[in-house]
Structure 1
Amino acid sequence: MNTVRHRACHASATLTRSLRIPSRWRTISTNHFIHREKDAVVPDSGFTFAVKDNIATAGHPTTCASAFLRDYESPFEATVVRQLRERGGVFVGKTNMDEFGMGSHSLNSAHGPVLNPKFDDVPRSAGGSSGGSAVAVRLGDADVALGTDTGGSIRLPAAYTGVVGYKPSYGMISRRGVVPYANSLDTVGFLARDVKPIYDLVIDGGLIHEHDELDPTSLTSQSRRRCSPGGDRRPPKLEEHFRNPSEITIGIPQDYRIAELHPSILAAWAAAEDALRKWGARVVPVRLPSTQVALPAYYVLAPAEASSNLAKYDGVRYGSRAEGGDTDASGEVLYSRTRGDNFGREVRRRILMGTYSLSSEAMDNYFVQAQRVRRLVQRDFDRVFARPNPLRDEEPFDLSDLEDGWELENKRGPAQVDFLLCPTAPTFPPRVEDVRTQGPVDSYMNDVFTVPASLAGLPAISVPVPAGNGMEEGGGVAGLQVLGQFWDDARVLGIAHQLSRLMPVV
């Protein structure tokens, strides 16, 4: 980004910190930082950024909110942190999170829970697992925050705290220096108070073009040029997108109208549809039938990958040894006490889930079937989007897959769209005491709208929109999610910016 954009970004954030944050939001201890820089100096041409605690920063702790890494300081820095520093970013601290990214509410942390600053009546969820990063942005402690999104871990906290949360296309942002949860799903993303700072970094700032040779999941420079519609051509400014809105078609997934969807979020979704129609865009219903099986498939695949990634944490080869964990107990292996004491309850649960699904007796019925469901999810998205997926061959739509009575756009099938619009979360931020009494399955339901885009590797962004008149459940704000085809990130950010202008949150 050039100096003018840096200065504008910093000035905007300073105004936010000084004028727009109600004092009552600081009446509770949000516990969003694990480590905070005391003397961070921001030049006029710079901006501040916070880093989720599973992203390495040299000379600072990287604990993943786990007792296993309580003493760990990384000898190197994550590529994305270096990239932000090169663009004028000033590091202000490491943010709290769910342990190893496993959770939807940022309550599963060795450093204590993160609380939502929007509510001072009772403690409420800030969303997870990047809850600390979302709160840091919400309170103005950082202009931009880094998070990771495996199944919604950036978008859900953004919706709960009323900020913007963006998950890029898989393979765009380097993951070198990120402690892995599920390698085929983990994506580094950004949170900010509005879309522009993110666009300035990713599109104008050129992160979309930077390949990292040290990250095997980073798309090569050749692939990036092939995926980008304009190649290396200068991208348009944020405000230059969609000069003719009548050329834009936005799909409303009918399969996302679930019984658990809160009426006020449904009303906000409908209001957004009306606003986009009045703007001039075409809005049509679409079907994504694999949605109903995406969530269970995710909770087979992600724990399976996690059980493999976390196998090295034993206190012998890696991680801190538990007290008394240096001798064998009767019938136990050397590191059983260390893993039992240092892993939190949710992490232990997911390791057991993943280990079982990878066992010889269960693999065919669970892991292999979940991989097939993932392909169906990807296929559904590719059929719905008008822009072809640059990584896969285009498949003709099989009309026999349609349900009776479903309207065809033409002889080739239903309408194809540029973007999808849906809620980010089915409910408003729940009370912490309610979350603690929920069963795991009830908690996992919060990811029902965010998981499909993660399984398909697509760009998705959560934007805050008005929801009622200061209603208690959501503080008058709901999160709506915009999804686009793979590597269509610039236009996804552009339509999200337009939505936030059409439905501003006061």
Structure 2
Amino acid sequence: MQTLAHIAERLDGGETSSRALTEDALARIEDPDGEGPAAFVRVFRDSALAAADASDGLRAQGIVPSPMAGIPFSIKDLCDVAGLTTNAGSVVMRNTPPAMRDAPVVARLRAAGAVIMGTTNMTEFAVGGLGLNPHYGNCRNPYDRDTGRVPGGSSSGAAVSVSDGMAAAGLGTDTAGSVRIPAAFCGLAGFKPTVGRVPTDGIFPLSTTLDSVGPLAPSIACCAVVDAIFAGEDPAPRPPVPLAGLRFGVPDTLVTDDLEPEVAAAFEKSLSALSAAGVRIEDASVPGLADLASVGRLRFPSQVEGYAIHRERLEHAYDAMDPRIAERLMGGTQMSGADYYDVLRFREDLIERSAKVTRNYDAIVMPTLPVIAPPISQFEGSDEALRDPFIIVIRNASIANLLQRCALTIPCHEAGSAPVGFMLMGEAMRDHRLMGIGQSVEALISPNLR
């Protein structure tokens, strides 16, 4: 994988062109032996080549609107694209009216000169962390492809599009970890902004309380460029924050429970490297984390919000949905209005109590996922397997969503081994600082930069 900065340097130096980059990405997408047919729901071949040619023409005149100009990019299948139906990974949506305009984040990508390759596969309606989809196929994790491991979700195709060179970066959404989970499983960097920084208009919702839009890319420096474009900010590179003297807290509850050996080893090695670089690593008693053991049951606003959004579809098209997804959405019927009120009050209390502790740290750190990517076959072949939500994959990642924080994941495994993610969580609206810290951390631990 090449970083955005490296690709931009090659474009500026005349070593390549947007046309060449786009043709290479299309060849990978259309390779019948590759993951493209399962990673993409739609491929914008003609418009992508036209955008690439236009970018090359502008560059020849000295016009380069952003560091993303002329570079292939993928967008998740729940983004509005003018003139197209927004599928959200479902066949149920095929007969809905086409979008009247691009989602703001898509419009900003176009204005920045990005070459949009198509819309990527995802868990139906963004409900789930495995990344499986019976309608459009299951794309496989780049690690141990012969076994066929889950890519993570819900932004599954976004991750595989980047890992396999079909796009240099991708747009994902994150309600309970759906950017960071596939990024961590697939050995990428991923960033979840604080809710409210990046517009979610024109993005098919799962939870109006928790939804956010974030990038998946080879590095946090890449993510910072894309995030700035999403947020309507200046995408000029920002400097990393020096590590010496920073204070990181490792929660002493929940987040390191039941780690698989590969995860535990990579996390401990990363902590040791950071400590040697001058970071103070301390145990942190973050209030309320023990209560999150029930995150998949009665502590998550998206349960009732997801049901409210989909209740008419559940009534009329239940059998056309992935049974795993339909069943989970129906879980919202188990919550009364009073229950939903309690969940929102629980979250407000958790945000307030945790902030009193976490504000004393430069970042709260933990394994992004307690496990490495499991085989897809583990979730096939029986009713029990089909229903298994493998809820542990959202356990750590969802903490940042519930606490209304920004968060990022950095690969921390040894090259060639099972991908493992190292997660940093920052304070609300301190996104830029967290990404600056993340750049310094990834320079130390990421196999993508070594």
TM-score by length of structure 1 reads 0.74
Structure 2 CA distance for aligned equivalents of residues 381 and 109 of structure 1: 39
Kindly indicate whether the alpha-carbon contact (under 8 Å) linking 1:249 and 1:283 is maintained by their aligned counterparts in 2. Answer: yes
Task: Supply the AA of the counterpart residue of 1:495.
Answer: I
Change (3 A) 1:236 1:140: closer
Structure 2 CA distance for aligned equivalents of residues 36 and 235 of structure 1: 26
Displacement of 1:54 after TM fit?
0.8
> Which of residues 362, 381, 389 is equivalent to 1:418?
362
Displacement of 1:421 after TM fit?
1.2
Q: How does 1:264-343 map to 2 (within 5 A)?
A: 264-294=262-292, 296-297=294-295, 299-300=297-298, 301-313=301-313, 336=315, 338-343=316-321
Kindly indicate whether the alpha-carbon contact (under 8 Å) linking 1:295 and 1:452 is maintained by their aligned counterparts in 2. Answer: no
Matched pairs, number: 411
> Which of residues 252, 255, 260 is equivalent to 1:254?
252
Change (3 A) 1:194 1:235: closer
Change (3 A) 1:259 1:202: closer
Helix, strand or coil at the partner of 1:443: coil
Displacement of 1:257 after TM fit?
4.6
Q: How does 1:64-463 map to 2 (within 5 A)?
A: 64-72=88-96, 73-203=98-228, 205=229, 207-208=230-231, 237-238=237-238, 240-243=239-242, 245-294=243-292, 296-297=294-295, 299-300=297-298, 301-313=301-313, 336=315, 338-358=316-336, 363-364=337-338, 366-386=339-359, 416-436=360-380, 438=385, 440=387, 443-463=390-410
Task: Provide structure 1 residue ranges, at least 5 long, that are not aligned to the other structure.
Answer: 211-233, 315-335, 387-415
Displacement of 1:470 after TM fit?
3.8
Displacement of 1:282 after TM fit?
1.7
Helix, strand or coil at the partner of 1:35: strand
Kindly indicate whether the alpha-carbon contact (under 8 Å) linking 1:146 and 1:191 is maintained by their aligned counterparts in 2. Answer: yes
% identity of equivalent residues: 26
Structure 1 CA distance for aligned equivalents of residues 79 and 293 of structure 2: 26
Between 1:3-12 and 1:297-306, the stretch displaced more is 3-12
Aligned to 2:422: 480
Structure 2 CA distance for aligned equivalents of residues 250 and 420 of structure 1: 6
Displacement of 1:458 after TM fit?
0.7
Displacement of 1:299 after TM fit?
4.1
Change (3 A) 1:442 1:310: closer
Structure 2 CA distance for aligned equivalents of residues 255 and 38 of structure 1: 48
Task: Supply the AA of the counterpart residue of 2:397.
Answer: T
> Which of residues 435, 440, 443 is equivalent to 1:501?
443
Q: For residues 434-454 of structure 1, what are the alpha-carbon distances to aligned partners after superposition, in whole Å with 9 as ceiling and x for unaligned?
A: 133547566112100011100
Change (3 A) 1:111 1:502: same
Structure 1 CA distance for aligned equivalents of residues 173 and 389 of structure 2: 22
Change (3 A) 1:178 1:235: closer
Structure number with greater Rg is 1
Change (3 A) 1:295 1:96: farther
Q: How does 1:13-92 map to 2 (within 5 A)?
A: 29=35, 31-39=38-46, 40-41=48-49, 42=52, 43-44=55-56, 45-72=69-96, 73-92=98-117
Displacement of 1:199 after TM fit?
1.4
Aligned to 2:65: none
Change (3 A) 1:235 1:142: closer
Task: Supply the AA of the counterpart residue of 2:189.
Answer: V
TM-score by length of structure 2 reads 0.83
Kindly indicate whether the alpha-carbon contact (under 8 Å) linking 2:256 and 2:367 is maintained by their aligned counterparts in 1. Answer: no
Helix, strand or coil at the partner of 1:267: helix
Structure 2 CA distance for aligned equivalents of residues 442 and 105 of structure 1: 8
Change (3 A) 1:6 1:57: farther
Between 1:46-55 and 1:154-163, the stretch displaced more is 46-55
Q: For residues 157-177 of structure 1, what are the alpha-carbon distances to aligned partners after superposition, in whole Å with 9 as ceiling and x for unaligned?
A: 001111111110101111110
